[in-house]
A and B are shown apart, each in its own frame.
Chain A
Amino acid sequence: DIQMTQSPSSLSASVGDRVTITCRTSQTISGYLNWYQQKPGEAPKLLIYDVSSLQSGVPSRFSGSGSGADFTLTISSLQPEDFATYFCQQTFSFPFTFGPGSKVDIK
């Protein structure tokens, strides 16, 4: 199975900050990496698919990049509604696996 790690596991940031979250996989996964946002008490929401494709309706301040086994989610200017937990997921091979999550809270 492909193992996933994320860093940091949590971070405190202010509105307007640039935030970067890293996801690493235990083997190369080509372009099969997706990012989800989850707020407390809510279902996850797709932000980015296939490394860098922005899901319809998601603000352009969210972007994804990376290749091989190293990937990044960037929020260019953090907004109040962005305080949440972010998960990466690989869909390169079964079983699909999620990263442990990165919680972004208010500084």
Chain B
Amino acid sequence: QVHLVESGGAVVQPGRSLRLSCAASGFIFRNFGMHWVRQAPGKGLEWVAVIWSDGSNEFYGDSVKGRFTISRDNSKNTLYLQMNSLSLEDAAVYYCATDRGVGATFIEYWGQGTLVSVSS
């Protein structure tokens, strides 16, 4: 079955960078679009970004556009999120998730998340 394991969450200072990873297994990774979604403590869900199955397209949420970059390595079955210029508002659990299709149709399966804390 689909298995997604996020890693890379840490405590970082404002203005610093961090890269999250998501290791995928149990499905043909290269055939599916992938998303990042975040959830601040005690808050709702915020969609962050999506990347097409072949990496040909990327789209971002307004609050992260220009600071975050989603990428993937289909040879390693791994999804990434490069986060630059982090602010207090970026503190959240970050989930990686599969799309149903090759691009962006809807989010189907979710990982358990990795926690990013931003503090001086």
Contact = CB atoms under 8 A, between A and B. Distances in A.
A100 B104 contact: no
Contact of B59 (A42, A43, A94, A97): A94
Interface stretch (A11-19, A22-30, A45-53, A68-76): A45-53
A89 to B, nearest CB: 7
Nearest to A53: B106
B110 A87 contact: no
Interface string A87-107: 101010011111111000000
A45 B62 contact: no
B95 A98 contact: no
A1 B111 CA distance: 26
Contact of A43 (B60, B61, B111): B111
B41 to A, nearest CB: 12
A43 B112 contact: yes
Nearest to B112: A43
Contacts of A46: 106-109
Given A95-B62, A96-B47, A96-B50, A43 B113 contact: yes
A44 interface: yes
A91 B104 contact: yes
Given A87-B44, A87-B45, A95-B47, A49 B62 contact: no
B46 A44 contact: no
A1 B59 CA distance: 13
9 nearest A-B residue pairs (beta carbon): A43-B110, A96-B47, A98-B45, A94-B59, A95-B61, A34-B106, A49-B106, A101-B44, A91-B106
Interface of B: 37, 44-47, 50, 59-62, 95, 100, 104-113
